[in-house]
Each structure stands twice: as structure tokens, then as C-alpha cells.
Amino acid sequence: MKNLKFLLLALPFFFTSCEKDKIEGPSLNNLYGELTILESLNVVGDGADFSVGENIYFTASFSKQVDWQVKIKGLNSGSVKIISGKSDAINQSNSTWDGNSTLLPFFIAEDCEVELTFEMHDDTIYNQLNIQGEKEYNDESTVLITDFENGFNPNFTNFFQSTCLKKIETGDAGQSDRFLVQEGTCDWDWLIGYIDYPANHWLQQGTLNANPDNVYFNMMIKGDSTLSPTNEANSLFKLEFYEDENQDGYYDQNTEDRLEVEFDVNWNGWKMYSIKYSDLILAWNSGGNAIREPNKILKFRTLLLANPASGFAKADVDYIVWSEGSPILNQ
Amino acid sequence: MKKIYLYYLSSLMLFPILAQSQVKSKLWYDGNARVLYNRDALEGTLKETDTVSTRSNGGGFTILDLGFHFTPVDDIEIFSEVRLKNDFGGMWGNKSFVELRRLSAKGVINKKISFSVGDIYLKQTKFTLYNYEQELSEYEPSVFKFYRDFVNYENYYQSNYWRLQGVQTNFSYNMYNFIEQLDFDGFAARVRGQEWMGKPELLMIGGSAVIKSSNNLNLGSHYVNTFEILSSSNSLVTYYNPVLNTQLSYSGTLKDKPYKVLLEGGFSKRGWDGDSLAPEIKGNFMEASIHSKSKKGEINLGFRYVDTDFRSTGAQTRRINYNNSTTTYPYYSNNYTQRKVSLIDMMSDPNIYNQNLSTSLMNYNPMYSSISPYGNATPNRIGLTADIDNFNLTDYLSVKVQAQYFSEIIGQGTTNKRSFNKSALHSLLSLDKLLSLKNSFDLEGSINLETVKRDGEDFEKIDFNSILYSGSISYELIKNLKIIAGAKVFYAEGNEFIAERDMYDQINDYSNNTYDSKETILIGGIQHHFTDDIYFTMQYNQFNVLDKTNTYDEFSMGRLIFMFNMNL
């Protein structure tokens, strides 16, 4: 009994070591603490050649978990890449960059400025890096239609209204040097102009994947809505895809599918437009099997349209490419 | 001879009455009757600045709760309590209500096994199934008791029992060797019924087994499991929360002073079956205490450890629900400010109280309860308690003292841990005994002090204090008629973080709240006791709630109240 009494009295003291150092719930330091930069921003892999698969990543560390953003801007191209995250450190696992772009145009071999900023904090850290070789988007999972670097393919048949034009320009391209300008005013018809891109004249030849959920159409489009008199989007862009279901080399609207999509070009600057083939809409007068078969595309057509009463319309085009698995910018 | 005839005649006349009193009645009655009338009126600057709210409003009711006890056979009793209520302002029944307040049956099988079914009161240990008192009710002067009785009665709070619907049974075995007695108890109750397109049915089952030995050593095991029934709804997720509590107690004497040592511990598990995002958490607890009672008073010393992840539906459900609207002036001022639950409401408003067990940790206001908002079952606590009860310093002065020191086991949001201190003192001075007065004259006073502190960087520091002063005077004018006066003054100052939790009770954010408030309650009037259970009181109350961080929303109110209470 004496031993029992001793045990009962002594037992509480064994639990004084039960206090633990871990915390319950989110850290107060992360929510309310001051931000201190423990290690400044470093670039690892500076001078990378993205065309051969090299990467760049960044390192930094902070006193608390914070929403951070690394912004890389090409000093020549104007391309922008944004990498963001929430952590108390930046490292290879959360900041690896393979040379792709968030905002077009694409990066070229150039110097870039790097800026690290934080949400809810005024701190900003600057650095620089150099790109030796720009990222190559063409690989076994892509089919390049055209990038206009060799000019306008004469096999791409087209029509533009007499008061409208298309032309190749050099400089300020979405990709590399040259791009296609499409613009004009037509006050009697919606159509500004259209271009047909037959499959047998694409820059790269190859059969697309038969699964429409796995095939993406990508096209760089430059909008300039400030040119319209009312400062609103005045350019309507339409894409039409013609399938040769019986593989006879011709398109018959009574027996074969036509798929399409249209959208307003309501932005300024270059933007990559990407759409999954299975998201295309069957045309109202499509006469085929209603099955989306990207591997049977005969040609596609781009149409630039505008309300005749609304004045000037413009939508420049560059780098048209098919990609497999994901949109081209996610490759 | 004449006397003998008279004697026989009287016996013959009284015989039926004598015979009747020897036969047990099969039907008898009990219950409660209450009449309450109150008139509330805005006071202070609010009378001029608030042009939207009514200046005053009155209300009241007459209630008769009639309990019928019927014993069809000796071993079974059926109990039914019917409420007849008439709100003031209604005549000829247009504001009258009749409702069934309780229905239950109890009995004994073969004189060995007792059972209860229907509306039953259940209680187990302080960590498995226990209805803790509401905050700031301990050491409350007796002049406030009529409010407390009213609130507790309306919410079916009886001695820390929870009122549930179900079945309970218990039985004992007497033995003759080392083990003197075995007690068994088991119950099953429905906590929440089926909901159309809603949550599944929630049941609670539990049981206790206690071994009493011949050398004053008792070993008890108590189990409770609260769980949902998957087949009772279209939901694919079901909740479960088993809790086990084992107790070992020993009673002995030390230098002729009796003492009792209690050692208990246990664990809990809580999760959601079928929900891949829901965590399953396990926690444990341990408590050791020594209790001694003498002519002078009682003393309790204790140590408690409750894990951060300890969860117990039956023991962690709180009485006050801070999400409920107040009955008196729920909105006031021209800004239509919602009046938050304050000391006035905690003292006198039955509608802010909760009668249902909760499967998640309920909100609490750290201003009023920061040390143990969930009673002894409050998770993330380790510390010591000491209290002295009914200590008679002299034959006219008795005191109660309580002290608690706790620390967190795991810091919330930081490795720094909160430290909690509570000190309480209550004293009763019987001036009639001191001054040899004929009529009763009592002075009561109490102080309740709570502090919470946490060190660290500026953004995580906590420094919070609250103090409640209570006092009362009760003077007997004539036999059983007393003049009473009482006061409560409450201060809260400092800052404290309130953890915001998701549907799984995991902390996902904090709000740092600053407090600087003062609340005052004054009461004065008369009280007459016909018996201990039959009394009336008529008094004037004055309430004031001032948040010094927002003085524009100061609330002041006066109340004239009459209450008659009769326990049948």
C-alpha cells in the first residue's frame, strides 16, 4: 500500500516531460510575422541552352512561409515568364524553368532581368540571367504548320477584301523574326479575309493522333483593340477544320465533317490561342459522321471578321502548331 | 363504559382512512409551477441615441409542468410531464401552449436489473459523458440563484446530466471475497434523428463496469461511443468517436483524516469513415487527485493532462451557444447592431443555452472562459488544481478557494505555449451569528480571476486578464421575507487569439482579438420563501455592457421582474 501511495504521488511528475515542441495549426509567424530574407535570390544554371534541354532554377530562403513570385523578362523579346509559389524557400523543386513563356512572345537568346516579389510585403529582389539558346517547342509531339520565317507559303490559298490586306512583317514577332499581318476596313461585308492551310503544305508533315482529346491546335494571335474607333474588340476570329473522312483528297460538305470555333480578339499584344480538338464545335451544315478525327484533317481555314459598321479590324498571326497531350505552352 | 364505546366508534369511523393510507397509491403527481413577468427598458445614452428600438418591452408567462407518475405494477413506473403555458397578453387560450415535456418509463426486472426508457438523464465520467456548468456560475452569490434555477430548469440541466432519449439499464452483483460488489451500467441513446436529405442518424452507446473490493480499492472502466448510422441517409460518410476511461480509486485515512485518491486515464479516437480528406485523430488523458474531507472543510488537489487530440462528444459539449440570438433586445441602436451574448444573457436567458450534444468543438468566448472552456475535458492542457470547499474559518465565516495552473502541451501556431492561471475565492459571512441577531443577515462575496499569457514575438504575444467581482446582501425583515441586493462587475482586458477551425476541427486560421470591456449587473428587491422550494421574488435589475474599444455601442438596460416558483 505504501508503494501504491508513492506511485500515485510520483506519477504526475512523469508527465511533466510531455510538453511537445511541435505546433498545432498554421504558424503564426507565417500569418503575422515580419518577412526577413535569409538567403537572397540566386540563379542556378545561368546561360542555359534551352534548345538542348537545359534548365535554370532559383534559390532563396526566407524567415516565414510567404506567397512569392519570380518574374523573368527578356530584354530583347519582351517575353515574360512567371514562376510563383508559397513556401519559406525557393529551390529546384519549385522554381525549375525550361525556357517557356507565360506571356508571349517566346524568349530568344538574350539577357533577362529577374525580379522576386512577395504578396503583402514590399520587399523586391533583382537579379539577371542569360539565355544561350531559346527553347525549342518542336519535337516528336508537335506538328508545325507554319512560323512564317520563310515568308507566306504560296500554297496557302487566301482571299482578302480589296480594302484589306495581309503581309509578312519582320520584327516584334511572336516567335523568332517574322509574322503575318492581317488587317483592314470593310464597310460592306463582315469578312476581312481568309486563309486556307492545306495539310499537305504544312511545314512539318505527319499524321496527327486520332484521339481528339489528345490533340491541341495552337496559334499565336496579336490583338490591337485600341485601333478600333470605339476602343473595343472589333476583330472576330474564326477557325474551320475540314475532315477528309473517306481519304479521297477532297472535302464534301454533304458527307464529311467540318468543325469550327470563333472568338473575339479582345486583347493587346501576342497571345497563344490553344484549343483541344474535342472542344471544337460541329458546323451546323456538317454532313459527316460527327466523330472528331484529327488524323483525317484535310485543311483548316482562318477567317478574320468584323462588323462592317465598326471600322478597322486587325489580328496578326504567328507560329501555328499542333501539339499532343497538352497546349504548346505546357509542353 | 362510555369511553370504551367512544373509542370503538372512533376506530370504526377512522378505519377506512387508516386502511387507505396503508395501500400505496398507483398515481401521484409532482411538477413545477412558475410565473414570470418582466419589463425591460433601455437606459443611459441609448435612450436618446437609439430611435429605432422600442423604449421598453414587457413579457411573461405562467407555466404549470404537471408530472404524472403511474405504477401499473409495483416494479414499473411510467412518468409523463405535461406543460401548460400561457403567455401574458393571451386570453381564452390564444397564446396558450400545451406540450409534452417528458415521457419515460422505468422499472426493475426480477428485483435485480433496473431500466429506464424514453427521456432519460445520463452521466458518466468527466471525460466520457458530463454536462459541465456554464461559465462564471461557480461561486455565484445565492441571490442570483433564482435566475440560475430558471435557466437550468428550462434547459433540462440536472446535476451535470445530459437529457437524452434512449434506454438505460444497470445491475449489481454482491460477492463475498476480495471483490465485494460488481456494478454494471449500459445505455443506448439517440443524439440526432434522421434528417431528410441531411446527416445520418447519430447514436451514442456506453457502459460502465465497476469493481469494488474489500480493501477500499475500486476499479472502474467506462466506455462511450458516438457514431453515425450509414444506412440512415444517402451520405457515404459517417462519424465515430469512441472514448474509454479507466478509474482506480482508493479510500483510506491518514492521521484519522479520511482521504480518497483517484487515478484515471483513457483515450479517444475520432474520425469520419468514407471521407478520404478527414483525419483520424487519437488522444489520451490522465488525471490524478486526492480528496480529503473533515469537519473544517474539504480539500482537493489534482493533476491533469489532456492531449491536444482528445475528443469526446459527451464531455466536450458546452452549455452556452454563442451563435444563438439573445431574447432581450437582440438588435439595438440605429446601426441595428446585433447584441452579442454577454453576462446578462448567461445569467438569465434560457434561449442561449444548448441541449444537444455536439460532435465538433463548439465556439466559446475567451472573455468568459479561457482556462477550461470544455471543463476537465478541455484538450491541450497540463497542470495542477487545488481547491478548498466549505472551509469554516469560524462559525459565522466560511470560505471556498480555488486555484488552477495550466499550460498548453502544444503551442497553437507557435512553439511558445500559453500559460493559464485561475484563482477564485468565495466567502459567506453570517452577520446574524456574528452579531447575535434574531433575523438572518448574510453577506456573500466572490472573486474569480483568470489570466492567459504567452511569450514570444510581438505578433504572437498574449496578455489577457478577466476578473469577476460578485457580492450580495440578504437581510431577513420578517420570517422568510428578505431584502436582497446583489452586484456583479466583470472586467476583461488584453488580447487573445481565437482559433478558427474547419469542419474537421483542424485549426486553419486565427483571429487576434483585443478586449477592454466592463459589464455591470445590479439587482435589488425582496424575496419570500414559503418553503425552500416555493418562493417569489420581486426586484429591479440594472445591466450595463461597455466595450471600451467601441463605446458607441454601449448597452444599458433596466428590468423589473417578478417571479413565483413552486416545486410540487
Per residue in B251-287, pLDDT tens?
Answer: 998 888 899 999 999 999 999 999 999 999 999 999 9
Q: Residue B17's pLDDT is what? A: 43
Give the mean pLDDT of B520-534.
94
What 3-state DSSP class applies to B270?
strand
Residue of A nearest to B502 (CA): A25
Q: Which residues does residue B516 pair with via DSSP β-bridges, in sequence order?
A: B493
| Residue B323, φ and ψ in degrees, nearest 5 | -85, -10
Mean pLDDT score, B463-468: 97
Residue B402 has a CB neighbour count (10 Å cut-off) of 18
Residues of A contacting chain B (CB within 8 angstroms): 1, 4-5, 8, 11-12, 15-16, 18-29, 31-34
Cell 415521457, residue located: B103
pLDDT at B20: 42
Amino acid type, A71 = K
> Quick one: CA dihedral A223, A228, A230, A235, positive or negative?
negative
**Residue of chain B with shortest Cα separation from A9:** B288
- Is the separation of the CB atoms in B38 and B567 below 8 Å? no
List the one residue out of B267, B356, B373 whose CA is nearest residue B311: B267
Residue B351 has pLDDT above 80, yes or no: yes
Confidence band for B22, pLDDT divided at 50, 70 and 90: very low
Determine the distance in angstroms separating the CA of A114 from the nearest CA of chain B, rounded to an integer. 32
Three-state secondary-structure class, residue B362: coil
Cβ contacts of B14 within 8 Å, gap of 6 or more: none
CB B395 within 8 A of CB B316: no
| Inter-chain residue contact A25 with B263, CB threshold 8 Å | no
pLDDT digits (tens, 9 = 90+) for A143-170: 999 999 999 999 999 999 999 999 999 9
Three-class secondary structure assignment of A108-130: CCCEEEEEEEECCEEEEEEEEEE
Instruction: Write out the H or E segment, with its range, that includes residue B22.
Output: helix B2-22
B2: exposed, middle or buried (Cβ count in 10 Å: 0-12, 13-18, 19+): exposed
Q: Is the pLDDT of residue B11 over 60?
A: no
pLDDT value at position A21?
Answer: 66
Q: What is the pLDDT of residue B161?
A: 97
**B291 has pLDDT over 50:** yes
Residue B491 has pLDDT above 60, yes or no: yes
Task: Select the residue from A23, A31, A36, A63 to test the B interface by mutation, using most B Cβ atoms within 10 A.
Answer: A23
Q: What is the C-alpha end-to-end distance of chain B, expressed in Å?
A: 47
- List of chain B residues whose C-beta atoms are within 8 Å of the C-beta of residue A1: 252
Pick the range with the lowest mean pLDDT from A111-115, A302-306, B176-180, B370-374: B176-180
Round to whole Å and give the CA distance between A204 and A207.
10
Distances (CA, A) of B160 to A192, B302, B315, B389: 83, 20, 10, 19
Contacts of B72 (CB under 8 A, 6+ apart): B26, B78
Determine the distance from the C-alpha atom of residue B210 to the mean position of all C-alpha atoms in its chain, rounded to a whole number. 26
Cβ-nearest to A33 among B288, B412, B457 = B457
What 3-state DSSP class applies to A189? coil
What is d(CA A322, CA A328) in angstroms, rounded to the nearest whole number?
Answer: 8
Question: Which amino acid, one-letter code, is at B427?
Answer: S
Instruction: Specify the DSSP class assigned to residue B6.
Output: H
How many contacts does A have with B, using Cβ atoms within 8 A?
77
Spell out, as residue ranges, where chain A has pLDDT lower than 70.
Answer: 1-21, 225-228
Residue with cell 480578339: A265
Lowest mean pLDDT among A234-243, B48-57, B122-131, B319-328: B48-57
Give residues with Cβ within 8 angstroms of B59, minimum separation 6: B37, B38, B87, B88, B89
Q: Is A312 within 8 Å of A185 (Cβ atoms)?
A: yes
Quick one: pLDDT at residue B109? 92
CA within 13 Å, CB half, B205: 4
The residues that bridge with B105 in the sheet, in sequence order, are B78, B117
Three-state SS at A329: helix
DSSP annotation of B302: E
Residue (of A118, A127, A113, A17) closest to A72 by Cα position: A113
User: Quick one: pLDDT at residue B449?
Assistant: 97
Q: How far is A8 from chain B (nearest CA, A)?
A: 7
Closest approach of chain A CAs to the CA of B174, in angstroms?
Answer: 25
Query: What does the block give as the cell for B430?
Result: 453570517
pLDDT in the model for residue B91: 66
What distance in Å separates residue B468's CA from the closest CA in chain A?
A: 31
- For B116-174, what is each residue's pLDDT tens digit? 999 999 999 999 999 999 999 989 999 999 999 999 999 999 999 999 999 999 999 88
A15 vs B435, which has greater pLDDT?
A: B435
Q: How much is the average pLDDT of B217-245? A: 93
Confidence category of residue B19, pLDDT binned at 50, 70, 90: very low
**Pairing assessment for the beta strands B76-87 and B56-70 based on DSSP bridges:** antiparallel
From the CA of B386, how many Å to the nearest CA of chain A? Answer: 14
Q: Given pLDDT bands bounded at 50, 70 and 90, which one contains residue B57? A: confident
Q: Choose the closest CB to A25 out of B407, B413, B417.
A: B413
Residue A10 phi, psi dihedral angles, 5° rounding: -85, -25
The Cα of B239 is separated from the nearest Cα of chain A by a number of Å equal to 22
Length of chain B: 568
User: Which CA distances in Å does A68 have to A199, B80, B317?
Assistant: 44, 67, 42
Give the model's pLDDT for residue A194: 96
What confidence tier does B229 reach under pLDDT thresholds 50, 70, 90? very high
**CA angle B103-B109-B115, nearest 5°?**
35
The pLDDT of residue A80: 94
Overall average pLDDT of the B357-372 stretch: 94
3-state secondary structure of B408: coil
Chain B residues close to A34, C-beta within 8 Å: 459
Cα angle A31-A36-A39, degrees, rounded to a multiple of 5: 125
Give chain B positions within 8 Å (CB) of A5. 261
Q: What is the mean pLDDT of chain A?
A: 89
Per-residue confidence (pLDDT) for residue B180, from 0 to 100: 87
Using an 8 Å Cβ cutoff, are A218 and A174 in contact? Answer: no
The whole-number pLDDT of residue B236 equals: 87
Reading the block at residue A327, the C-alpha cell is 497546349
Residue B141's pLDDT is: 94
CB < 8 Å to A8, chain B: 250, 261, 263, 288
Query: What value does the mean pLDDT take over residues B38-55?
Result: 85
Name residue A253's amino acid.
Q
Other residues' Cβ atoms within 10 Å of the Cβ of residue B567: 16
- The distance of B163 to chain A (nearest Cα, Å) reads 34
Among residues B144, B135, B143, which one has the least CA distance to residue B466? Answer: B135
Asked if the Cβ–Cβ distance from B250 to A4 is below 8 Å, we say: yes
Confidence at B445, pLDDT banded by 50, 70, 90: very high
Q: What is the pLDDT of residue B434?
A: 87
Task: Assess contact for A87 and A118: CB atoms under 8 A.
Answer: no
Q: Residue B506 and residue A25: Cβ atoms within 8 Å?
A: yes
**Better-scored residue on pLDDT, A3 or B566:** B566
Q: Do B413 and A28 touch (CB under 8 A)?
A: yes
| Residues of chain B found within 8 Å of residue A10, distances taken between Cβ atoms | none
- For residues B394-414, give the mean pLDDT: 94
One-character DSSP codes across A281-316: EEPTT--S-----GGGEEEEEEEEE--TTS--EE-E
The distance between the two most distant Cα atoms of chain B, rounded to a whole number of Å, is 103
Which of B306, B361, B382 has the most A C-beta neighbours within 10 Å, making it the best mutation to test the interface with A? Answer: B382
Mind listing the pLDDT tens digit for each residue in A53-67?
Answer: 999 999 999 998 899
Question: Scanning every residue of chain A, which has its alpha carbon at the shortest distance from the alpha carbon of B413?
Answer: A27
β-strands A57-74, A80-90 pairing:
antiparallel
